[in-house]
Amino acid sequence: MRNVLFLAMVIVFTIVGSINPFEARADNLPTVKLEDLIKEALKNNPKIKSAEAEYKAVESSAPQRGALPDPIIKFEASNIPLDNPRFDGTPMSGFQIGMAQKFPFPGKQSLAKRAEKFKAEALKHKYKKEVLDLIADIKAEYYQLSYIVKAKDIFNHYRDDVGSLVDVAITKYSVGEGIQQDVLKSQVELSKVEERLLEIERQEKTIRAAINNLLNRNPDYRFGNPDTLGYTHPVYNLADLEKLIIKHNPDIKALSSQKESASLKYKLAKKGYLPDFTLGAGYRLRDKVRGDPVAGIDFFSVSLSFNLPIYWSSKQDKAVSENAYKLTAAENQLESVVSDRLYELRRQYFELSQYEGEIELYSEAILPQAEQSLQSAQSGYQVGKVDFMTVFNNLLTLYNYRIAYYRSLAGYQEALAEIESLTGIKSLSNIGE
């Protein structure tokens, strides 16, 4: 019986000792690359397409603001006697061709066109913001999926090891060298692992559905596993990132363009007090009529007209007031967003720094120490100096630390993706200290 017990212990320690926390179990799904997901999303995501169409539509409207109103062509038969409807009945009768063109007061068209251009720029920056947000969302889901896949692999290893410990506990208890509490404890832990694996399966399905949604796919579309989470310490500092925020953040750039558009519209509203002009010209065809002092000679005429802004108190004054408020709102909104984005950058930066510390601590200290502690407990258990629960608890601690390590890796990558989105750049690796 002791030989059977010894053989079971050897098998358990061999399995436990052979675990590599940095090597995932292979499966039949091909690896999916983050870059491929991003390309597909940018091509198919309907929200991106909508934002792109919106700014392009406004781009097309800017030239319209700078164009003159359509000219008016007029054909007129005038002064035709009712009792004798002929053009040669009286000297006043004739057929006139005319044209009129309206000219806004100088400066109005250029202001309107420039204001529309800045509006289009603002929408273009909002489109870029949608692109960056989409990329950040895909990265976040991708890194979470990578963590979940790794966590599932680790828990599968842990389930196997706990199952082996259950066998050892049962064997020892059957020969009178163990206690029932060890058997019950290990069996409860095995059930908890199964429960956790079910939860991980649910999370994985949810994340895969979220990625499919971002790529405008069928929610049940099957795709491969992501790359294993990595860690590369980027070269950057907070001051550099703050400069990039001011220079490249699409929200700030959009509101800057929006403020310029509001400023130009305010200037345009002030020009509303100035009249617009209409220049006209006409050519009158006449027949020779008896008694006509000019013997049927054709006439030429020109005209100049303009509107009178006499209702300024209810129109122009209100337009100026309206656009002044809009300009004030745009200026304050820009100031608020600059402050918000700088705050968000600092929050993500400090979170990133925390994850960096955790990753280094786990990889350089905690994980090696936990592995040594488990190995020591195994050795002590073999010679009877350590009880079963000490080995069990050390095993549980090691697996918890491995899960925490990969959770920190995923959190680090997500925070990095958020900072990249805020600064409007693809990678922080090339930013100088």
Summarised one tens digit per residue, pLDDT across range 386-414 is 888 888 889 889 999 999 999 999 999 99
Report pLDDT for 193: 86
Residue 5 pLDDT more than 80?
no
The H or E element containing residue 216 is: none
50 domain-assigned: yes
Contact 401, 370 (CB under 8 A): yes
Residue 74 inside a domain? The answer is no
CA angle 8, 13, 16 (to 5 degrees): 125
Confidence of residue 285 (pLDDT cuts 50, 70, 90): confident
Pairing mode, if any, of strands 277-285 and 94-103?
A: antiparallel
Q: Which structural domain range is residue 342 located in?
A: 2-68+104-274+309-423
**Banded pLDDT at 360 (limits 50, 70, 90):** very high
Rg of the chain, C-alpha, whole Å: 39
What would the pLDDT profile of 296-320 be if each residue is shown by its tens digit?
A: 788 899 999 999 999 999 999 999 9
- CATH code for position 368: 1.20.1600.10
Beta bridge partners of 72: 100
For helices 108-174 and 2-17, what crossing angle results, to 10°?
Answer: 160
Whether residue 240 is contained in a domain is answered as yes
Residue 114 lies in a domain: yes
Place of tokens 């502690």: 373
In a domain, 87, yes or no: no
CA distance 369 to 357: 17
**Domain tally, the chain:** 1
Supply the pTM of this predicted model. Answer: 0.81
Task: Annotate 10-68 with DSSP letters as a single string.
Answer: HHHHHHHHT--TT-PPP-SSPEEPHHHHHHHHHHH-HHHHHHHHHHHHHHHHHHHHHSP
Cβ atoms within 10 Å of 227's Cβ, excluding its own? 14
pLDDT value of residue 364: 93
User: Which 3 state secondary structure label does DSSP give 176?
Assistant: coil
Asked if residue 42 belongs to a domain, the reply is: yes
Residue 155: strand, helix, or coil: helix
In degrees and rounded to multiples of 5, residue 88 shows phi and psi of -100, 20
Is 85 part of any domain? Answer: no
**What mean pLDDT value characterizes the chain?**
86
Q: What is the pLDDT of residue 350?
A: 94
Q: 80 by DSSP, 3-state: which? A: coil
* 292 located within any domain: no
